[in-house]
């Protein structure tokens, strides 16, 4: 029998696996509510360590370090979904881990994720499992000669992905990925990309943020705008899809669901691209744009606390500061009302997310 989750009160310590900017912003949000954070990650010098009360630098396979970490914290969460399943299971025997192992199992692998979604009657791009180079040509033919090859695991910011228009190129891409299991996806002719971000509490309560719209540059999220320019009924459906997924995973915490909006003869149709079992870059606007940021909401959810208001304060534009764009920090500081966030990364590199800036165009209030 599973032990009930402990009562978490201010002063408790939240264990966070991963030390990037998402972990950093989780720790900052927790600190405001009197929660301490203890960060666990393999590399020192990552941004979350700077703002947390405790830290462990160790491999995810280091059982002695994992035991000490579990003993030092009250509840455990993570800022990225590629935590080894064995690590999550090992920790879950010692402390509650939220979101639970089921969420990791269904979202770490694109093939498992798509089958899970289709079983829920949630539409995805058409896909074929690619376990060998020979599987590419027939799959490509069934998709009218074009598709996107993606590794099943460990992809992010477009890494481990290639647009394929002939089988030979596909086989070369498959080889360049190291012949690891992959999927081929049908290309979705989307009009927009949106995300639905919501949180599910330990009691099953669910609150969603307004649906936001994402633009990418070089496969990296560049801008998020809220609200998305979609019909109210489409926005409502997007929120319902996120809730349906969270319920099916018996999920606790913030979940983000990336979707494509396809405009067809039947109007706006939604196709789910991927699920992030964590806070998400496209939700950064909630820090300055709502009373309860996605980071605070996540800390509330995993602590068994009431979820907060997700009401949007106005029209919002969030721009990522990628690589050299972060050098504009002084100029942004001079801009009235621009909310600057820097992640404290020591070195600027091309394609590296260094910070973001949010602009809130407030609604008139009485």
Ligand X SMILES: Nc1ncnc2c1ncn2[C@@H]1O[C@H](COP(=O)(O)OP(=O)(O)O)[C@@H](O)[C@H]1O
Interface with ligand X, residue 113, by CB under 6 A: no
Which of 185, 210, 213, 319 touches ligand X by CB under 6 A?
A: 185
Concatenating the DSSP letter of every residue in 80-129 gives STTS-HHHHHHHHTTS-BSS-HHHHHHHSSHHHHHHHHHHTT--B--EEE
Smallest gap, in angstroms, from Cβ of residue 63 to ligand X?
29
Which of 80, 90, 156, 329 touches ligand X by CB under 6 A?
A: 156
User: Do residues 233 and 335 touch, judged by C-beta distance below 8 A?
Assistant: no
User: Do residues 130 and 174 touch, judged by C-beta distance below 8 A?
Assistant: yes
Smallest gap, in angstroms, from Cβ of residue 163 to ligand X?
9
Interface with ligand X, residue 167, by CB under 6 A: no
Burial 213-245 (b: 16+ CB within 10 A, else e): bbeeeeebbebbbbbbebeeebbebbbebbbbb
Q: Per-residue x/- mask for ligand X, residues 203 to 222, rule CB under 6 A?
A: -------------x--x---
Smallest gap, in angstroms, from Cβ of residue 317 to ligand X?
18
Interface with ligand X, residue 158, by CB under 6 A: yes
Of 258 and 288, nearer to ligand X (C-beta) is 258
Interface with ligand X, residue 274, by CB under 6 A: yes
Of 213 and 274, nearer to ligand X (C-beta) is 274
Distance, in Å, from the CA atom of 130 to the CA atom of 182, rounded to the nearest integer, reads 5
Interface with ligand X, residue 129, by CB under 6 A: no
Which of 17, 39, 125, 196 touches ligand X by CB under 6 A?
A: 125
CA 320 to chain centre: 15
Distance, in Å, from the CA atom of 206 to the CA atom of 197, rounded to the nearest integer, reads 11
Of 156 and 329, nearer to ligand X (C-beta) is 156
Of 59 and 191, nearer to ligand X (C-beta) is 191
Q: Which residues bind to ligand X, rule: CB under 6 A?
A: 125, 148, 155-158, 185, 187-188, 193, 216, 219, 258, 273-274
């Amino acid at each position: 029998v599973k032990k009930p989750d402990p009562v978490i009160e201010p002063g408790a310590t939240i264990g966070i696996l991963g030390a990037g900017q998402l972990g950093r912003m989780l720790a900052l949000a927790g600190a405001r509510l009197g929660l301490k954070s203890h960060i666990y990650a393999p590399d020192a010098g990552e941004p979350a360590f700077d703002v947390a009360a405790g830290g462990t630098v160790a491999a995810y396979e280091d059982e002695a370090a994992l035991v000490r970490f579990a003993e030092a914290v009250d509840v455990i969460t993570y800022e990225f979904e590629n935590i080894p399943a064995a690590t999550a299971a090992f920790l879950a025997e010692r402390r509650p881990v939220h979101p639970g192992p089921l969420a990791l199992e269904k979202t770490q692998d694109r093939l498992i994720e798509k089958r899970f979604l289709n079983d829920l009657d949630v539409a995805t791009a058409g896909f074929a499992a690619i376990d060998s180079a020979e599987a590419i040509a027939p799959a490509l033919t069934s998709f009218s000669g074009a598709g996107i090859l993606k590794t099943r695991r460990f992809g992010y910011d477009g890494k481990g992905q290639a647009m394929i228009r002939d089988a030979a190129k596909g086989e070369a891409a498959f080889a360049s990925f190291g012949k690891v299991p992959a999927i081929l996806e049908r290309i979705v002719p989307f009009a927009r990309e949106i995300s639905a971000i919501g949180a599910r509490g330990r009691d099953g309560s669910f609150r969603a943020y307004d649906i936001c719209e994402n633009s990418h540059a070089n496969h990296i999220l560049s801008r998020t705008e809220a609200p998305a320019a979609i019909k109210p009924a489409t926005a409502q459906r997007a929120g319902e899809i996120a809730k349906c997924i969270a319920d099916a995973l018996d999920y606790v915490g913030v979940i983000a669901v990336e979707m494509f909006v396809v405009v067809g003869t039947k109007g706006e149709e939604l196709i789910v691209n991927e699920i992030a079992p964590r806070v998400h870059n496209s939700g950064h606007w909630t820090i300055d744009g709502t009373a309860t940021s996605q980071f605070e909401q996540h800390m509330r959810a995993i602590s068994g606390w009431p979820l907060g208001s997700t009401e949007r304060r106005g029209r919002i534009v969030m721009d990522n500061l990628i690589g050299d764009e972060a050098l504009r920090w002084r100029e942004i500081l001079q801009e009235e009302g621009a909310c600057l966030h820097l992640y404290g990364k020591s070195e600027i590199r091309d394609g590296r997310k260094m910070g973001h800036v949010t602009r809130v165009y407030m609604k008139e209030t009485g």
